């Protein structure tokens, strides 16, 4: 059963150094606040899993939290490269980063296999692809019924999955709607799952075909309004495109990046304090 606790307590209790951690969310509902809290608490040696590493993993990699990245695409959406990711891979800064690259279909199916309690996923994929040449975990199996040769990849079973959602009720049931990625599968595949939410309500009033994660499948629910910023939360706020653009020059330079996280993340008490400081800075620049 999910406990309703602060994000600080959830990360302190349920994320340990050396864990395999998945922060999932597609286009919206990206768990930015949770990535900040991992940095504040100095979590290290993490294996980070995410289908589309973007700013949240650029932050974690640049802050020295990650030792390995399992992914299927990486970039600053609509802008360009993740400079902290590139610096870690190309120049070992702040330290060397191991990478394990998959296709989208592969990693999505790996989450499904993990959620199903299976050791690996099987899919039709990789014909003509060079990824199996650089990822020895992508193997082939022969169907015992048809003789067809298929791709096989290990299931993804995180120690901790972290997602952001719109609502939770007071029992810890969680409601998501809008564009979904693999949040449900990532949550069910994990040993522990932390969910940050925009609001906690008495009744979810879930519409037909919405995604409801039951309290018994979750570990902790944390009330963090705005916790997906700069991505959007459907029904609550829009994507902050200016932030994605502003991130590029911040992340390009090691000293600028380090100064930014020291001021805005390590130098703030929580995500609400970060939001207030960022808003104050943006208003000052607009004058």
Q: Which stretch of DSSP H or E encloses residue 197?
A: strand 192-201
What residues have CB less than 8 Å from 6, skipping those under 6 apart?
222, 270
Give the distance from CA 171 to its chain's centroid: 24
pLDDT of amino acid 208: 82
Tell me the per-residue pLDDT of 104-133, one tens digit each, with 9 for 90 and over: 999 999 999 999 999 999 999 898 899 999
For residue 10, give the nearest of 44, 46, 43 by alpha carbon: 43
Give the Cα separation of 150 and 141 in Å (integer). Answer: 5
For residue 104, give the nearest of 67, 141, 129 by alpha carbon: 129
Q: Which domains does the chain have, with CATH numbers?
A: 3-102+157-276 (3.40.1080.10)
For residue 56, give the nearest of 263, 269, 261 by alpha carbon: 261
Contact in structure between 107 and 51 (CB atoms under 8 Å): yes
Give the Cα separation of 266 and 185 in Å (integer). Answer: 31
pTM for the predicted model, two decimal places: 0.96
Contact in structure between 188 and 115 (CB atoms under 8 Å): yes
DSSP letter for 87, please. H
DSSP letter for 228, please. T
Tell me the per-residue pLDDT of 153-183, one tens digit each, with 9 for 90 and over: 999 999 999 999 999 999 999 999 999 999 9
The mean predicted confidence, pLDDT, of the chain is: 96
pLDDT of amino acid 66: 98
């Amino acid at each position: 059963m999910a406990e309703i606790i602060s994000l600080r307590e959830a990360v302190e209790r349920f994320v340990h150094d050396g864990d395999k951690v998945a922060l999932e969310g597609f286009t919206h509902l990206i768990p930015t606040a949770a990535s900040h809290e991992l940095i504040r608490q100095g979590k290290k040696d993490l294996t980070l899993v995410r289908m589309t590493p973007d700013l949240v993993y650029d932050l974690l990699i640049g802050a020295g939290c990650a030792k390995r990245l399992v992914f299927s695409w990486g970039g600053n959406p609509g802008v360009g490269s993740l400079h902290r990711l590139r610096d870690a891979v190309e120049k070992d800064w702040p330290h060397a980063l191991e990478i394990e690259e998959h296709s989208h279909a592969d990693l999505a199916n790996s989450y499904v296999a993990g959620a199903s309690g299976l050791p690996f996923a099987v899919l039709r994929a990789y014909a003509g692809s060079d990824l199996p040449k650089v990822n020895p975990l992508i193997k082939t199996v022969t169907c015992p019924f048809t003789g067809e040769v298929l791709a096989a990849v290990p299931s993804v079973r995180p120690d901790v999955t972290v997602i952001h959602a719109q609502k939770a009720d007071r029992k810890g049931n969680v409601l998501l709607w809008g564009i979904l990625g693999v949040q449900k599968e990532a949550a069910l595949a994990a040993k522990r799952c932390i969910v940050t939410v925009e609001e906690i309500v008495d009744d979810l009033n879930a519409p037909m075909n919405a995604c409801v994660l039951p309290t018994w499948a979750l570990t902790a629910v944390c009330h963090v309004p705005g916790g997906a910023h700069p991505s959007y939360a459907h029904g609550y706020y829009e994507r902050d495109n200016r932030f994605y653009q502003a991130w590029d020059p911040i992340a390009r330079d090691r000293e600028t990046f380090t100064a930014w996280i020291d001021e805005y993340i390590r130098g703030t008490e929580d995500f609400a304090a970060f939001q207030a400081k960022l808003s104050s800075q943006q208003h000052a620049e607009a004058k």
